[in-house]
Amino acid sequence: MATYITLIHFTQEGMEKIKESPARLDAGKQVFQSMGASVKEFYLTMGTYDAVLIGEAPDDETAAKLALTIGSTGAIRTETLRAFTEDEYRKIIAALP
């Protein structure tokens, strides 16, 4: 499965209901599972982003569906990055002309 890093900003609505965020995370994990994906790590962060999620999905289409589904709740805004493992990185570099 492909790895994705999602950078999360809480919206105003998300901040107003911040005490509900653990339940929203649990619901999000269920959405991931229902689409054949998984949440590997979740971190509350300080700085530019409020949280970071590391997940795996079978393909980019599934990752996009997840981002749109979870973002549509209105509690967060996301930026998702496709991440390559060190082994994938080495394979990509080795295949360069």
Concatenating the DSSP letter of every residue in the chain gives -EEEEEEEEE-HHHHHTGGGHHHHHHHHHHHHHHTT-EEEEEEE--SS-SEEEEEEESSHHHHHHHHHHHHTTSSEEEEEEEE--HHHHHHHHHT--
Domain containing 25 — which CATH number? 3.30.70.920
Mean pLDDT of 84-94: 97
Confidence of residue 68 (pLDDT cuts 50, 70, 90): very high
Total domains in the chain come to 1
What's the domain range around 82? 2-94
Mean pLDDT of 27-48: 97
pLDDT mean across residues, the chain: 97
